[in-house]
Amino acid sequence: MSKAAASLRNCFFCGKHIPTDAGMMLIKNDGSIQWTCSPKCKKNLRLKRDPRKLKWTRKYVKGGIKVKK
């Protein structure tokens, strides 16, 4: 893996940039890789919480999530 590609990691849950020497990697059975920046993000990911509903994430949607009927 090149140095440029390794530095472009973002947290799967909150969207925060992760330095190359930090973070935790979760590999799912289907082969997808999910990086988390902290134990807080890892726990919320494991609890299957929606990051769009949590104000401390960068994926937060102000005004609520629009659901198609």
| pLDDT, tens digit, 9 for 90 and up, residues 43-58 | 999 999 999 999 999 9
Distances (CA, A) of 8 to 22, 32, 60, 64: 12, 16, 21, 29
Give the range among 18-27, 50-59, 60-69 with minimum mean pLDDT. 60-69
Say how far apart CA 11 and CA 56 lie, in whole Å: 13
User: Which structure tokens are listed for 9?
Assistant: 């990691």
**Predicted confidence band of residue 60 (pLDDT cuts 50, 70, 90):** confident
- Evaluate if residue 21 carries a pLDDT over 90: no
User: Mind listing the domains of the chain with CATH numbers?
Assistant: 3-48 (2.30.170.20)
The pLDDT of residue 63 is 74
